[in-house]
Structure 1
Amino acid sequence: MGDFIANNNNCGQNLLRLVSRGNAILAELMRLKEYVPPVFRLDSKQHTQKYNSIILDFAYFKAANIHEQKIENDPILQERDENLRENYSDVLTRFYLAFESIHKYITELNSYVDDLEDNVYIQQSLETVMLNDEGKQLLCEALYLYGVMLLLVDHQFEGQIRERLIVSYYRYNAQRSSSTQVDEICLLLRSTGFSKTSQKRPPNYPDDYFKRVPIKTNFIDLLIGKLRSDEIYNQTIAFPNPENRSIASANQASMLVIILSFQPSILNNSSAIMREIVDRFFPDNWVISIYMGIVINLYDWWLPYKSAKIALNNTLDITNIKLLSKKYGDKLDKLIIDCEKLQLAVTLDENEIETIIKLIRETNICLHWILLHTTIPTILQDETKRSRQLRQQIINDTKYNSINCLRLLLSTAKIEQDLKLMYKNLLLDKDNKWLDNKIKCVNKINELSDVFGGKKKIVGIEINDCLENWFKKISGHVESLVEDDSRKIVQLLQALEEVQEFHQLEHNLQVTQCINETRDILLGMLNTTNINETTIISINIMTDCCYAWNIMETFIDTMQNTIKTNPPTVIKLKALFLKMSSALETPLLRINQAKSPDLISVSQYYSRELESYARRVLQIIPETVFGLLAKIVNLETNIFKEIPTKLYKDKLKDYAQLNERLEMAKLTYSVSVFTNGVLSLRSVSLGILRVDSTRLLEDGIRQELVKKITQSLHNNLTFDSKNKYNLIDKLNYLTIIMDGYRKAFQYIQDYININSLKIWHEEVTYIINIALEDELKNSTWIPGKSLKNLLINNTNKNDVTFIDNSSSSITNSSNNNGDTFLGRLAKELIKITDPKLTIYIEHTLAWYDLKNQNELLNHKIFSIILRAMGTPGLYGLDKLLSHYINQELNNIYKHIDLFNKDKNLKIIIDESLAVINNTDYYKINPGKLCNNLINYGGKLWQSMIDCLLKIGNYQLLRSNISYELNTACKFEAKHMEASLRTFNNALLNELKKKKYNQHINDDENQLIRELSVRLEWTGINDPLNKKFIQFLNYHNFDCILFLFTIYHLHKLYYCKNTASLLSKKIQDPIDSIVFTIGIHTLLRQFPTDIFDKYISLLCDYVLTFVSSESGKIGNDFETEATTIIYYLQLISKYSNIEKLKILKNIPAIVIDQYKKIIK
């Protein structure tokens, strides 16, 4: 048997590698099924409208040039297309390679069959391969796996989605793909018309689909003939009873069903063959698992085929179904009692192994039939009315109950685990145990010989030389025994029984006891001899549960309810998870035999699926814990009184709150009981993964904590567009909730053995980061990033990770003024502090309503946000505002580009430059320049002033955030703040010592980056001087900004009451602080010489207001000059420039006059 797949047998090795790859392809298809990008489904109105012209099916190939031209002619479509290319190119490649591998697989299988027929392999042909046990298995598996691939790809990736994925890959990766190969893949995987949502089965499905790549008819017929007539897997060793023939050949039956789809003529016209197949494989079953829990109902599957449908009639006879249902229903109840009774024994008796194996066989047969026949099929889910009736009838007749079924599953799994462990230990200790028993047996027989020889006296026993010699002879026979002498041991047992009866030795109790003990020892030796690996193989075959891989999903709710009712049940689940992990042997067998590199990838996929299942089942424990925690939170925040530092004796009873504290103790105990349940698992082996129960509990608690905190943030950070005064109330309420959760979480940490403070900070930071990521992303889905992988550290380079928007409650938010709670909070702050409706007064650090002068908001709002959302909340807000600033700066960059092309502005700039460069500039009438700008500049500047005021407002908010973070850090971690500040200063000094052209190495860059992050978190940064983007084209920008500034400063005047610049007209408001910060931020994006030229132009402009006779500001332009000088003072303050730069351009006498005016 082993010769065919020996390393030196190319024929066997090539076939083995092909089958191995088939199993790997199926694992890849299953892995990718969850990760079809939502945009390619086009299942929402938004996606359809946005991408309908870009994401196309195979209709694209009929008019490729027209479609491409349409995209090229539309800038919006072009931008979207480029975004899709950038975001999904790698993912599309992964999908395409999976589809391509299916075509390669069948092409290589056809080539292999051709090679066998052409005698390429010496002394090998189809017939000779089919005569070999391994050969016939592998050939049948090869075609069967291809059929499963086709069904799986059509079920998991519907036709139109497949076509869109392939077309998009072709468009974005045309240079990598051969058009001929793409044509062949398109031919194979074009839409079949099958849809999971459709109730109608496509005509001739799957016959036409399976014929798309021709396969030799004689090859298919040979496989069908072999599967019909032979038992290719020899599983009768595990199921010797003829009644269990159908389950013994279940795997072979699944293969036959799939391969018959390649030859529909047999299903339609060969009544005798189909009757033979049904009588052999399906006399008592019609629902089968074709591969790793993919279930099909043969009644629906064979419904279009005349002969197959008729052949199933006997099996589907109502009387037969009732008999089967009653048989397995009664058996289920009996087996539950037997298994639970056996478990009461605590340990298994090794002398009862055969009985236990028989029990396990019966339970697995019963579970196999009931689980399959009560589940909904995976393929063709929209069953016919008859199928639904049959399933319901079975449920009724068997009195199917998921709780009872789970009880049997748990009991069986535990017995199987104990039996396998005991049997493995017996197998390891087999030789030593047999020798020990042999020595004991010899000693016992010698003792009997001595008794009858008179050497050892026993009352009532006379010397009998005949018996003495006989026992000595028997002792010699026992000494000569070897492990394979089973027949001789049986003969010795019979001899001892006969001598006891013949010589009437049973009348003496001592002799009888000694003979009985000897016989028991010999029986033990016989049992030990029968211990072999064949029994282990049989146990593994009968306990295989790959058929239930998907069915077990239906038991999650039942398991969770059981755990909730009885937490110690968790320990039983460990055995069930181990039973499920044995299902991995089926897809991994051939991959392992072929020593394929796919072994790690495939085993990791199935192991992670199993781990995910285990986590979902056990997540009920953290959920229940947090349900109890909510009650603890209520007690902590609403019921318990805060105990003062000094408490009078007579008030002690008021603060004791004994009943409430008893309730707290009960809740705490319940929490510890639930956590002990999961901790009792200790370490669980799930496939190739080993999961620690402590990590399992912590991950579950993290997941639930994220859900609860996110829910609180979402619920409380939702604002009414009509009411702008509820922000503080909502934040204060959120503070109470978050503080309650934090205290309660900290309270229970000792009872569940976790570091709550560490977890709290990590998860809050995570929530804020994800909300920020969701706000910053440009598309609805980004590949290559994982939302959260705390539960699974994905180290497999072949695995694709994606943002899973459907499963994340963080990104699942209403479109209420923002995409996430962080976006809503930022937009609410921006709305309240809108520079067009408010004014910021520096002396009070507050924003006031322009209309009624009421205070709307002050700097304390940031302290409230800090208390509600912690440092991560303020940091996330700062990052989001930085993103908004970046967007507005890019908009300004576009405006500048338009300004350079605007003819009117070019005329104004030229005229202004002519005036400025005039030698008599200081003698001209400055009003001329103002009038010029007022007449022509209004329309030009409007869009730019909007962007600039937004930038100034965002920067003002960032400046307040930075101050709040730094203040909090000085109080909470003053030593860290001082250390970071000192380190920052030292680093800056070191960098200043470097020469201008000296390169900063990678280590220094890394250090600067890491330090910058910490400085931002602690507020030791200068947000106003941050550089966001680099402007490449800045020709005449100093002049443009100068004209822009004086145009808008003309609308302001200096107010002595507020000691600030205010708008002349309330209908056309400009906040001077916001305006100045905006100008400063904009100038920081340019080289410093632009800033210097800008300041110089403003100073020169001030001098035009000075009377040449008196050297003082003229009365007519006193307000204008004062405004500009005050503005210069503001910008020098925010820019940290020396006053000498201004005094160098404006005489001291003018500055003195300005000071007198403002006083």
Structure 2
Amino acid sequence: MAEPGPSRPATSAAAGDYPELLGFCARAEALIAELLLLSDRAPPQFADRRFDPVLFDFRYFDSPGDFESRIEGNIEMEALEDQLRESCGPYMQRFFALLDGAVTYHEELCSYLNDLQEGLYAHCTLDGVLENNGACQLLVESMSLFGCMILIMEHRIGGLLRERLLVAHLRYDRTFSHPNVERICELCRRHVPTPGSPADFGSSSCFSEVISVQKPEDLLGRFPFPEPVVDAVITCLRNGDVYNHIRFYPDPQHRTTALSLQGGHLYVLLFYSRDLLHRGLVMREIVDRFFKDNWVVPIFLHFSVDLLVSWDAYKEAKMSLVSCLSPASIRDISLHHYSKVPHLLADLGVHIRAINKKYVLDNSPSLLSIIRECNFTLRWLLLHRLASDKKARDLVISIGSSQQVDEGNLLKLLLKASKLEFEVKQLHVELLKTRESTWDKKRHDALECVKDLSQNYLGVGTASCKFKNKTLKDWLEHLFSEVISLNYTAIGSSGRTIHRVLSTLKDIEMLNQIKESVQIKEGFAKIQKNLHDMIKVLNLNQEATSIFTAITDAKYAWVYLTLFEALLKKNISQNPAETLLLHTLFLKFQSWLSAPVQRIKQCESPDYHCVSTYYSSKYAANIFAVLDAIPVTLLKNTTAVSYVNADQSTHLVNRINKEALEELMQLDQQLCEARQAAKLCTISEGLQNISKNFDDLINLNLGGWLKKMIKRELALQLEGKLKCLAKPTNGDIENDLNSLSNYMLSQVQRVEFLQDILHIDGCSIWQETLAAVLEQCAKRELLELMAHMERSTNVVKQFNSVSSPSTFFGNLLQHIVQLTSPSHSMFIEAMVGWFDARGHELLGMRFFNLLELWAGLDGRGLGPIPMDCVGQVGLACLDSLIHILIKQTMENTVKDLHNLVNTKSQDELSKLDDLLGPPMSIPLMGWSSYKQMVKMFDSSWGPLVEKLATIGQLQLVRNLISFKLRSACKIKANTITSSVEVLVSSIHMQKQTCESGSMDQTIRLFHHNIKEQQRFCGLLSPLKAIYSSDDPPMFLTRLLSVFSISQLSRYVLDVHLGSLTSPLKRSTADFSAVIVGLCTLLRQFDSFCTIQYIQFMVQYMRTAEAAFDAMTDAHKGITHSSESPKAVFWLISFCKYMDISRDVLESCLPACVLAILQS
């Protein structure tokens, strides 16, 4: 079993002799931990007024039928019942288990105490238990902890909430017949509310854990203990020193602090006594011994009570307390403690600056005294500044203000005291480890001094002062033998011998011959110093460690980690050196972890893991709450450095003029950077101290937390920057992207500056943060798009009218859609960009290069920084958003085509289709057949042109994005890209297996992930993407061929640009956008549709050539029809975007058409 701490000095053997009592204490500690956990997680539904109709208190038991009848048949209330049962069922079961465990504990403990009182145990009796300090502690705690649990339950989980939880559980689980249900109801029954208490729905203020319960005697009286046992235990507590703490506090002024743990148990047990609180003489005796100079008493961990409030209903107890703690007395006590704070701070500063092993060895008593005094003062001030009694609290705080001691001074005292305590403890442990070697060294030094003096007296030495004295010579020889006989293991005899030798040395020093010789005096002084050090080394023992642990315990002030949180954060941001003190501050509260599980650990209970996990999680949460300011401070201190680096151009020079040397050295910038680096190093050292000293205590995973918090701060800053760009740019988005690129550069420099100091992977953190922020921004824009899609069928058209996009990607999309509008721009494939009517480039590769490299280059053209595929994330997000726009437009287009076919008579369409005949023939009516069909759908072509042009416009943009992704990944992530290509090839070879439907879910998920990686690497062609799974409308290919024919008249063939262009300055959709949109539409259906469309277009070309030949015969000298070359170019462009081989196309064309193509 583990050795108990000094706060409970019972030995493991003593605890093991009384396993029943030890088991009760362990169970009580586990119950309290469960209670605290449940109180932290109280379900909010029980405080929600919407659930009031289905939540009942104990009035339910008076007439359950009436309450149930209100719910039966009421759909809304039944829905609330189901919601409550589903969301709160596990919590209610756990709460009921806690209550059942508590009443079972009380029943079994009372049975044990009755048997103990009656002497039914052969190995122990009540008197025997009380006479044994260890057993007495267990007996006291077994009863006191149960009382603490009831008080904490009333404090943290109000009576109304307890009643509602219990009634709800009994109703839902139908456990009304549970054997302990009556006693559980008694435990949950609402107590008299405390005036001004914070309602019945859970815990009080998180800043104060001072329990304020009115008439606690009535509350604890529901579960009494045998009165003779209670009286015997109280008598033992009143008169003895159960925990042996008085030996740690020799000063009588510290007596109440020495007995504070005992006093907390006594406070609880007094309420189990019938009349002690009403007996004046007894209460005066108790107050004089335990509470004469303090009225805020800790009873468990950081939970305390204010006696001025708690004893208000007990006249004799209150009078006894007030007689010692009148306003004048409180003023004097407060003044005494506050006046010591400045002196203690000064003394602590002196000791901290001088601390080392030698200093600890020489000054152990004074160090112990200052540490004890600091903790005594801190304990009184910190506890009484949280008193529940307003008058007393205000008086204490006002005295502090008059002495100019505020929270800042108290925090400084706490930090410095923690620092000194930690250093002294560490050095004391090191001294204990080297105790024997240090003692041997001091003895050797003393022997050398004696030998040197002996040689001097014999006259053979080289000393300048030589004289002979046989008596002294004999005595020195005797001294030599005495020192050499000293044995480290015989501490008692060695100590007595050293004291005897020192006494003799002092007598010899009085001889005239010794007084007159400086060298002899110096030799004697060295001998005395070494002998004194040997005594100090012998006095080193584990008892000092126990004393330090006892007097430095600060679990009572746990709430001050929360109260001082804002002040600590402010101090850290202003002075990063504060982080060097944080680990000692946190370690000062480590007893908060060990104290509530001490009995559980001694008992080797299986509850140890879960209970310690709960306290560790709370401990770590408070630590991280304080450290939350560090990431902000880190990034703040790197800002100046990054700005300096970003603004300073670095270039090589061949010659340096003497006059320009100082400017080139950039001393001011280097000084600024050095200062920031020093601050960062200080913070890094502080974090390393925390991580190193908490490894054996709890698993903080400080490195993971730091990365997470730096990511959070970087994300917040990046989101703010992107939010600033989410506004109309008036065509100046490239300047915004340049600004964003510079910002990215400064951010990268900051994380690179941090990574070497903090030992973290800064580039990886930046990559993950940037990717996460961009993806989150894209998700927000996607939600915006979905909202627009619900209101409109043409979201792309709205981009031309939206004045203020709410996201960065929305702004980017608006800019791209406006500049690439098919009605105002023209895509020239050879130039890979969009141009206006004057030939000015509106959008091209330069823009996409900037977009891809906005965070991928170092901003000065010096090459890539060590970051892979960062710009690609933004491009991939943009590509996914455009994919959504195309998908919606495509679905609407297919829907419109279905409607178009349905609105026209299908019989009429069938007749026209028959009139045109099979693809390989020429219509009987010739060219006029096409004119008739074009005229039939003339009013429908406008909307179709607009939608196809929109699809084609976005497809061309996606095509350029895909090209940039592919090229960038080939350069920056060639290994990944090659791996994906190999995987895709391998999957393609298993195509038959994949299409057979025999894949399991894992393989399907693998295929999906591979496709996503293909898209990210630009290995998926947007022109081959499938956006719609609808069936094709009837006569689709015939309609689209007629549509294509109808559009030929709008364009002329420009051989210089290699494209069809509009001959007029009117709004005509860009040919490239229309043809790509047409290709994308046909790609959604079976390949047969594509082949049939080509055949129909070839049929039209034959018909046009036949009509041209007839006109040529009738009218000699007529020029070649312009329709055929345009139709041929249209079809060639179509096949190119559909990835149909030119050889296949030429094999389908007749000789006459080939002649046109060759011309």
Distance 1:403 1:198 in 2: 21
Aligned pair in 2 of structure 1 residues 567, 227: CA closer, same or farther (>3 Å)?
same
Q: Deviations 1:339-370 (Å, cap 9, x if unpaired)?
A: 22333433224253233212211111112222
Identify the match of residue 882 of structure 1 among 847, 872, 880: 880
- Counterpart of 1:677 (choices 659, 678, 682) is 682
Find the aligned partners of 1:748 and 1:584 in 2 and give their Cα distance: 33
Normalising by structure 1, we get a TM-score of: 0.69
Q: Tell me, in whole angstroms, the C-alpha distance in 2 between the residues paired with 1:1122 and 1:270.
A: 118
Go from structure 1 to structure 2 and tell me whether the alpha carbon gap of 1:1005 and 1:370 turns closer, same or farther (over 3 Å shift): same
Aligned to 1:965: 965
Q: 2:367 aligns with which of 356, 380, 404?
A: 356
What SS does the aligned partner of 1:689 have? coil
| Cα contact 1:147–1:259 (8 A) shared by 2 | no
- Of 1051, 1062, 1067 in structure 2, the residue corresponding to residue 1056 of structure 1 is 1051
Structure 1's 865 and 931: CA in aligned 2 closer, same or farther, altered over 3 A? same
Provide Cα deviations, 1:503-533, integer angstroms capped at 9, x if missing partner: 9979866999999988877776765555443
Deviation at 1:670, TM superposition (A): 0.5
TM superposition shift of 1:400: 1.0
Matches within 5 A, 1:143-162: 143-144=146-147, 146-147=149-150, 150=153, 153-154=156-157
Partner residue in 1 for 2:1087: 1092
Q: Share of identical aligned residues, percent? A: 18
Residue matched to 2:796: none
1:872 to 849, 870, 892: 870
Matches for 1:1036-1051 after TM superposition, within 5 Å: 1036=1031, 1039=1034
Task: Report the counterpart of residue 223 of structure 2 in structure 1.
Answer: 215
Residues 931 and 99 of structure 1: CA distance in aligned 2, closer, same or farther (over 3 Å): farther
Q: Is 2:872 the counterpart of 1:863?
A: no
Q: Secondary structure at the match of 2:363?
A: helix
Indicate the residue corresponding to 1:405 in structure 2. Answer: 410
- Look up the equivalent residue of 1:372 and give its one-letter code: L
C-alpha distance in 2 between matches for 1:161 and 1:889 = 55
Change (3 A) 1:471 1:745: closer
What is the distance in 2 between the residues matched to 1:892 and 1:392? 73
Deviation at 1:414, TM superposition (A): 3.2
Q: 1:134 to 1:696 in 2, by over 3 A?
A: closer
Confirm or deny: 8 A CA contact 2:641 2:676 kept in the other structure: no
Instruction: Report if the CA contact (8 A) 1:717-1:731 is conserved.
Output: no
User: How has the CA–CA distance of structure 1 residues 310 and 469 changed in structure 2, closer, same or farther, with 3 Å as cutoff?
Assistant: closer
Task: Work out whether 1:366 is the aligned partner of 2:377.
Answer: yes
In structure 2, the residue corresponding to 1:215 is in which secondary structure?
A: coil
Q: CA deviation at 1:541?
A: 1.0
> Does 1:727 pair with 2:738?
no
CA distance in 2, matches of 1:147, 1:863: 69
Q: Partner of 1:248 in structure 2? A: 258
**CA contact under 8 A between 1:454 and 1:462: conserved in structure 2?**
no
Checking the alignment, whether the CA contact within 8 Å between 1:738 and 1:868 is kept in structure 2 is yes
Q: Which amino acid aligns with 1:863?
A: N
SS at match of 2:595: helix
SS of 2:330's equivalent in the other structure is helix
1:985-1031 per-residue CA deviation (whole Å, 9 max, x = no partner) reads: 443443333362277899998987887666544433434545789x6
Residue 109 of structure 2 corresponds to residue 113 of structure 1: yes
**Alignment partner, residue 737 of structure 1:** 743
SS in 2 for 1:718: helix
Distance, in Å, in 2 between the alignment partners of 1:947 and 1:459 is 121
Q: C-alpha distance in 2, partners of 1:254/1:918?
A: 100
**Cα distance in structure 1, aligned partners of 2:222 and 2:931:** 89
Q: Secondary structure at the match of 1:868?
A: coil
Deviations 1:586-637 (A, max 9, x none): 2342343344566566656666666666666667676556445433444445
Matched, 1:11 2:14: no
Take 1:616 and 1:633, find their aligned partners in 2: how far apart are those partners? 28
CA deviation digits over 1:653-672, x for unaligned, max 9?
7x878299232121112023
Question: How many pairs were matched up?
Answer: 1055
- In the TM superposition, what is the alpha-carbon distance from 1:302 to its structure 2 partner? 6.3
Distance in 2 (CA, whole Å) between partners of 1:743 and 1:626 is 11
The answer to which of 683-692 and 336-345 deviates more is 683-692
Equivalent residues of 1:266, 1:274 under 8 A apart: no
- The 8 Å contact of residues 264 and 298 in structure 2, kept in 1 or not, is answered as yes
CA–CA distance in 1 between the matches of 2:598 and 2:605? 11
Matched, 1:992 2:988: yes
Q: Does structure 1 residue 424 correspond to structure 2 residue 423?
A: no
Supply the distance in 2 between the matched residues of 1:625 and 1:163 (Cα, whole angstroms). Answer: 48
Task: Give the drift of 1:540.
Answer: 0.3
Structure-2 separation of matches of 1:857 and 1:754: 40
Q: Distance in 2 between matches of 1:1040 and 1:105?
A: 78
Report what 2:248 is aligned to.
238
Alignment check: 8 A CA contact 2:337 2:381 kept:
yes
Task: Say whether the 8 Å CA contact 2:372–2:552 is kept in structure 1.
Answer: yes
What is the 5 A alignment of 1:611-626? 623=632, 626=635
Deviation at 1:420, TM superposition (A): 1.9
* Structure 2 counterpart of 1:732, one-letter code: N
Aligned partner of 2:596 in structure 1 is: 587
1:326 Cα deviation from its structure 2 partner: 1.6
* Distance in structure 2 (CA, Å) of the matches to 1:213 and 1:1132: 93
Change (3 A) 1:362 1:265: same
- What is the CA–CA distance in structure 1 between the aligned matches of 2:803 and 2:487, rounded to whole Å? 90
Q: 185, 193, 200: which is aligned to 1:192?
A: 200
- Answer whether contact 2:303 2:556 (CA < 8 A) is retained: yes
Cα 1:296–1:1106 change in 2 (3 A) is farther
Q: Deviations over 1:1025-1054 (max 9, x none)?
A: 45789x6xx6x5565987997999899776
Output the CA distance in 1 between the equivalents of 2:1041 and 2:288. 97
What aligned pairs does 1:495-534 form with structure 2 within 5 A after superposition?
497=503, 530-534=539-543
Gaps of 5+ in 1: 378-382, 779-814, 1085-1089
CA distance in structure 1 between the aligned counterparts of 2:336 and 2:404, rounded to whole angstroms? 11
Partners in 2 of 1:398 and 1:528 — Cα distance?
Answer: 42
Measure, in 1, the Cα distance between the counterparts of 2:911 and 2:728: 49
1:1019 is the counterpart of 2:1018:
yes
Residues 311-349 of structure 1 show CA distances to partners (whole Å, capped at 9, x for unaligned) of 654465321122112211222222223222333433224
Q: Distance in 1 between matches of 2:276 and 2:1066?
A: 86
Range that drifts further, 1012-1021 or 267-276: 267-276
Which residue does 1:321 correspond to in 2?
330
Letter in 1 for 2:373: E
Contact 2:962 2:1022 in 1 (8 A): yes
- The yes-or-no answer on 1:415 pairing with 2:411 is no
Cα distance 1:225–1:1027, how it changes in 2: closer, same or farther (>3 A)?
A: farther
Bigger mean CA deviation after superposition, 225-234 or 690-699: 690-699
User: 1:341 — aligned with what?
Assistant: 350
Post-superposition offset of 1:114: 5.4
**Which consecutive unaligned segments of at least 5 residues does structure 2 have?**
1-9, 58-66, 191-198, 785-801, 857-868, 924-928, 1054-1058, 1111-1120
How has the CA–CA distance of structure 1 residues 931 and 422 changed in structure 2, closer, same or farther, with 3 Å as cutoff?
A: same
- The 1:1070/1:1109 distance shift into structure 2, 3 A limit, reads closer
In the TM superposition, what are the counterparts of 1:972-991 in structure 2 within 5 Å?
972-973=971-972, 976-977=973-974, 979-980=975-976, 982-991=978-987
CA, structure 1 residues 246+8, in 2 after alignment: closer, same or farther (shift >3 Å)?
closer
Deviates more, 1:251-260 or 1:529-538: 251-260
Q: Which moved more, 1:761-770 or 1:507-516?
A: 507-516
**TM-aligned CA deviation for residue 646 of structure 1:** 7.3
Cα distance 1:336–1:633, how it changes in 2: closer, same or farther (>3 A)? Answer: closer
